[in-house]
Amino acid sequence: MNVMLNRIDAVQQRALLLHQRACEAPIQPELLATALDDLNLVLEELRTAHEEVIQQNQILADYQQQLEIERQRYQDLFNLAPDGYLVSDPKGIIQAGNVAIAALLHLRQESLLGKPMVLFLPVKHRCVFYARLAQLSCAAQGLPTKTWETQLLPQAGEAVDVAITVSINREGREVRLRWLVRDITEKKQAEAKIHRQAFYDQLTGLPNRAFLDTYLPKVLAQAERQQTQVAVAFLDLDKFKDINDSLGHEVGDQILHQVAQRLAHCLREEDLLVRWGGDEFILVLSQLTAVDPVGRTCDRILNSLQPTFAIDDHQLHIGTSIGIALFPQDGTDPTTLLRRADHALYQAKNQGRNTYRFYQPGLTIKCIGDGEQSQGS
């Protein structure tokens, strides 16, 4: 372009020179012929320059067309992407969003523009969002890619589990943030299913042994810090084997399910009920400042099992024996507390069943079918 401007400037200088010569008097034929020749040269230069300008304009038009094709291609890819994409300014104000994110939020694509992203996040996650924005604004270079799991709140419907990855794009003084938003609802559901299968009993829906193995040490550590007590109770259903053997496992399973429901209604929110296996349950009562609530809870459990269980055409009665060990007086670790609660359970069975007993050191109990066993340990 600079070359073209220089050539046009040279033509202009020669035209001025022709004008000066034409103004000289008298007009000389030789000078006129020379002036005409120069004029023809000037016209040729102008024609050539014009053609070159047309050629440059065509190149520019082709380049603009190519840019438009690339822009449209990018827009198509942007909108056809299966994951959500957002572009925002450094404050999180949305400048663009693709079809997938609009569908995820149940909004029209154009209505996303100008809205703060934070409006679509749960309140409890907004501090993390603002902290992320602050990190990005202070970073001289883009931060390492890091995925953040949160939820989006659509305009209608339930919250959606998503994984968000953000990158920063700097073009001169202009800064844009690009947000990749991936729906991980199915992944979360699969994880929850695996967790439930690993840590919960399929029949009763109660936590299982694996859950108790992770839960009980934490509860004991918390009780030690807070100087509170914990009760670990072993429950075993009385005469359950007779019902299970005579009426079948299907009836037995229904009793276990109904028993679990009745037991759960006897507990506080902070208590834990675990299906240990078979017809055995474990009860963990935490945040205790006295022993009396333990006895009251056991009384509620025994009373809850007194009404008959209506299963198919059967009216069934079942009770439970309960053995209790206390932290820290009866033990300070899960293994000791469970063993001593089990010993107290057998004492309750030996004393007539359908009752509860606290662990007492030094007592000798008679386990059914096993002769005598000392409780002292």
**Predicted local confidence at residue 377, as pLDDT:** 42
User: Could you tell me which of 45, 37, 44 has the C-alpha nearest to residue 7?
Assistant: 45
pLDDT for 85-126, tens place per residue?
999 999 999 999 998 999 889 999 999 999 999 999 999 999
CB distance 93 to 113 below 8 Å: no
- Confidence label for 368 from pLDDT (cuts 50, 70 and 90): very low
Q: With 70 as the cut, is the pLDDT of residue 28 above it?
A: no
In sequence order, what are the beta bridge partners of 230? 327
SS3 assignment, position 269:
coil
Q: Which residues pair with 309 in a beta bridge?
A: 316
Query: Where residue 13 falls among pLDDT bands split at 50, 70, 90?
Result: confident
State the CB neighbour count (10 A cutoff) for residue 264: 14
Residue 4 confidence class, pLDDT cut points 50, 70, 90: low
pLDDT in tens, 158-175: 899 999 998 888 777 788
Q: Is the pLDDT of residue 369 over 50?
A: no
pLDDT band of residue 372 (cuts 50, 70, 90) is: very low
Overall average pLDDT of the 45-57 stretch: 81
The Cα 286–Cα 10 span in angstroms is 97
| Residue 5 pLDDT class (50, 70, 90 cuts) | low
Task: Tell me the two tokens of residue 145.
Answer: 């890619």
Per-residue pLDDT at 152 = 93
User: Cα 327–328–332 angle (5° rounding)?
Assistant: 90
Residue 151: band (very low, low, confident or very high) from pLDDT cuts 50, 70, 90: very high
Domain ranges of the chain: 2-78, 82-187, 200-374
**Cβ 338 vs Cβ 284: under 8 Å:** no
| pLDDT > 90? residue 325 | yes
d(CA 167, CA 136): 9
pLDDT of residue 77: 66
Q: Domain 200-374 carries which CATH code?
A: 3.30.70.270
Is-contact 147 166, C-beta < 8 A? no
Mean local confidence (pLDDT), 176-190: 92
Assess contact for 39 and 18: CB atoms under 8 A. Answer: yes
**For range 220-239, the mean pLDDT:** 96
Q: Which residue has the tokens 């030690």?
A: 224
Note whether 136 and 168 are within 8 A (CB).
yes
Lowest mean pLDDT: which of 38-52, 284-298, 312-326? 38-52
pLDDT at 74: 65
> Does the pLDDT at position 375 exceed 60?
no
- Give alpha helix (H) positions in the chain: 2-22, 29-80, 99-105, 126-138, 185-199, 209-226, 240-247, 249-264, 292-304, 334-350
Beta strands in 263-318 (DSSP E): 272-277, 280-288, 309-311, 314-316
Q: Furthest-apart CA pair in the chain: how many Å?
A: 149
Among the listed residues 279, 312, 313, 342, the single catalytic one is: 279
Both tokens assigned to 270? 């902070």
Q: What confidence tier does 3 reach under pLDDT thresholds 50, 70, 90?
A: low
* Active-site annotation holds for 330: no
Min mean pLDDT across 19-33, 119-133, 169-183 is at: 19-33
CB 253 within 8 A of CB 203: yes
Residue range 252-265: mean pLDDT, rounded = 95
Note the pLDDT of residue 208.
Answer: 96
Write out the two tokens for 6: 């220089």
Higher pLDDT, 82 or 350: 350
Go through the chain and tell me how many residues it has.
377
For residue 95, the model assigns a pLDDT of 93
Q: What letter represents residue 231's amino acid?
A: A
- pLDDT category, 251, cuts 50, 70, 90? very high
Residue 75: closest CA among 100, 102, 98, 101: 98
**Per CATH, which fold does 82-187 belong to?**
Beta-Lactamase (3.30.450)
Task: Output the average pLDDT for the chain.
Answer: 85
Q: Provide the 3-class DSSP secondary structure of residue 374.
A: strand
Could you give the C-alpha distances from 140 to 50, 206, 275, in angstroms and in order?
Answer: 48, 51, 55
Q: State the residue for tokens 């025994």.
A: 302
> Between the CA of residue 372 and those of 14, 238, 337, 348, what are the distances in Å?
128, 20, 21, 14
| Lowest-pLDDT range of 57-61, 97-101, 367-371 | 367-371
Distance, CA of 81 to CA of 83 (rounded, Å): 5
| Partner residues linked to 327 by β-bridges | 230
